[in-house]
Amino acid sequence: MKLSSISIIFFFATLQALSVLQVNSQSTDSCNSNLNLDLPFDTSLLNCLPVWSRHDFILRYVRNLSNVWNFVLSAPDTNSFVAMGFSTTGQMVGSSAVVGWVSADGSGTVKQYFLGGQRPNLVVADQGNLTIVENSTSITSRSSRVYLAFQLNTSQPLSRVLYSVGQIGVIPSAPAFALAEHRDKVSTLLNYRTGTSASDSQHSRLRKSHGILNMLSWGILMIIGAMAGRYFKQWDPMWFYSHAAIQSCAFLLGLAGIISGFVLEDRLDAEVDTHKALGILILVLGCLQVMAVFARPGKESKVRKYWNWYHHNGGRIVILIAIANVFYGIHLGEDNGTSWNAAYAVVISMLFLLSIILEVKLWRQK
């Protein structure tokens, strides 16, 4: 009797375990799975990669003809919305997202949202910067998963891609289709060329190193070195050695910062053409300043005054462009951007105030 009871318990436990395994297998998707979906575009040549392991998000994409990109996002069906956003900074604010959900009656809805701020009234439906191909959006629930599909008309989608999932049982409804706060989100970096995706935080150390090196070198030390060369000439020749040492240190650190920027751009596959162009211009002007030192004529030479004019004004141009590019880089990085902006603004303000005091003192001496 006891053996029979144990057998019955074991039998039902086995059935329960098998049912759980069956549900899990039905809700599992992988890049080896075939997409048997009725979509308005071909899905046979899609690149596939897991993009958010925590919520089992799988992304498939491919570039079609005429700069049209096909996307299919797969996620577990938890009776909530799923979203895929595109951002220039990696932050949700300012991004545009494709959001989809399946209602209780089985009907699917896909809309574009513009995330203008953190307040609900700033998340606006049917607005955004994405050019979605007409009649290309769909969301389908199948085998306990949802498949969000859409096409974008663009030469190159943004590489900073955001994913989010809504609260369970909470989906937008007509007429406003207000989007409730997400249950979870992640910011990633998608390299469309290599088909790899990584969490944005994985490159945060390199990004911070790039920013700190360039801020310290081109944006701070270069200014201090210029001040030493202009305001401390009464301590000859120490002013010259101090000026040369500080500027040399700034140039080497700045060179390292720019190299790290090239590495960062390659890893992120980011579109930072303006920031990159300004950085290259700063490096070129800095190299010209270094080369000018080796061509410096003697004090008695007739061309010395022209050399001085070139060296002084060239240095000022480098500093002005560097300051602007540092602020622009902080804007692109965005992580704790307000605090970094404030800190650098305080340093620049202090150096500017000090230079005014020293300039007044210099004019009085003259």
As given in the structure block, the two tokens for residue 39 are 């979509």
Same domain, 236 and 161: no
Task: Please give the distance of CA 294 from its chain centroid, rounded to a whole number.
Answer: 40
Give me the domain span that covers residue 276: 204-365
Q: Nearest CA to 139 among 161, 111, 158?
A: 111
Same domain, 238 and 123: no
Same domain, 191 and 336: no
User: Predicted confidence band at 268 (pLDDT cuts at 50, 70, 90)?
Assistant: low
Q: Residue 315 in contact with residue 226, Cβ under 8 Å?
A: yes
Dist. CA 280–CA 282, nearest whole Å: 5
The pLDDT assigned to 208 comes to 87
Task: Please report, in angstroms and rounded to a whole number, the separation of the first and last CA atoms in the chain.
Answer: 112
Q: At which of 179, 199, 219 does a domain end? A: 199
The answer on pLDDT for 63 being more than 80 is: yes
Same domain, 179 and 318: no
191, with CB counted inside 10 A (0-12, 13-18, 19+), is: middle
CA distances from 223 to 215, 263, 298, 316, 354 (A): 11, 26, 25, 9, 11
Q: What is the CATH number of the domain that holds 188?
A: 2.60.40.1210
* Residue 115, beta-bridge partner list: 123
Q: At which of 199, 229, 246 does a domain end? A: 199
Same domain, 210 and 328: yes
Position 125 in a domain: yes
pLDDT in tens, 64-110: 877 899 999 999 999 999 999 999 878 888 899 999 999 988 899 99
Same domain, 223 and 360: yes
The answer on pLDDT for 212 being more than 70 is: yes
Q: How many domains does the chain have?
A: 2
Position 5 in a domain: no
Query: What mean pLDDT comes out for the span 338-364?
Result: 92
Position 161 in a domain: yes
Position 21 in a domain: no
Same domain, 296 and 343: yes
Position 8 in a domain: no
The pLDDT assigned to 37 comes to 86
Position 92 in a domain: yes
Consult the annotation and say whether 203 binds a ligand. Answer: no
Same domain, 80 and 218: no
Same domain, 164 and 222: no
Same domain, 325 and 223: yes
Q: Residue 88 in contact with residue 161, Cβ under 8 Å?
A: no
Same domain, 294 and 334: yes
Consult the annotation and say whether 275 binds a ligand. Answer: yes
Q: Residue 303 in contact with residue 297, Cβ under 8 Å?
A: yes
Q: At which of 149, 164, 199 does a domain end? A: 199
Q: What is the CATH number of the domain that holds 360?
A: 1.20.120.1770
As given in the structure block, the two tokens for residue 247 are 């500027």
Position 81 in a domain: yes
Same domain, 299 and 181: no
pLDDT in tens, 234-261: 898 999 999 999 999 999 999 999 999 9
pLDDT in tens, 196-206: 887 766 567 78
Position 64 in a domain: yes
The pLDDT assigned to 248 comes to 95
Q: Which residue has the higher pLDDT, 334 or 53?
A: 53
The pLDDT assigned to 336 comes to 55
3-state DSSP of the chain: CHHHHHHHHHHHHHHHHHHHHHHHHHCCCCCCCCCCCCCCCCCCCCEEEEEEHHHCEEEEEEECHHHEEEEEEEEECCCCCEEEEEECCCCCCCCEEEEEEECCCCCEEEEEEEECCCCHHHEEECCCCCCECCCCCEEEEECCEEEEEEEEECCCCCCEEEEEEECCCCCCCCCCCCCCCEEEEEEEEEECCCCEEEEHHHHHHHHHHHHHHHHHHHHHHHHHHHHHHHHCCCCCCHHHHHHHHHHHHHHHHHHHHHHHHHHHHHHHCCCCHHHHHHHHHHHHHHHHHHHHHHCCCCCCCCCHHHHHHHHHHHHHHHHHHHHHHHHHHHHHHCCCHHHHHHHHHHHHHHHHHHHHHHHHHHHHHC
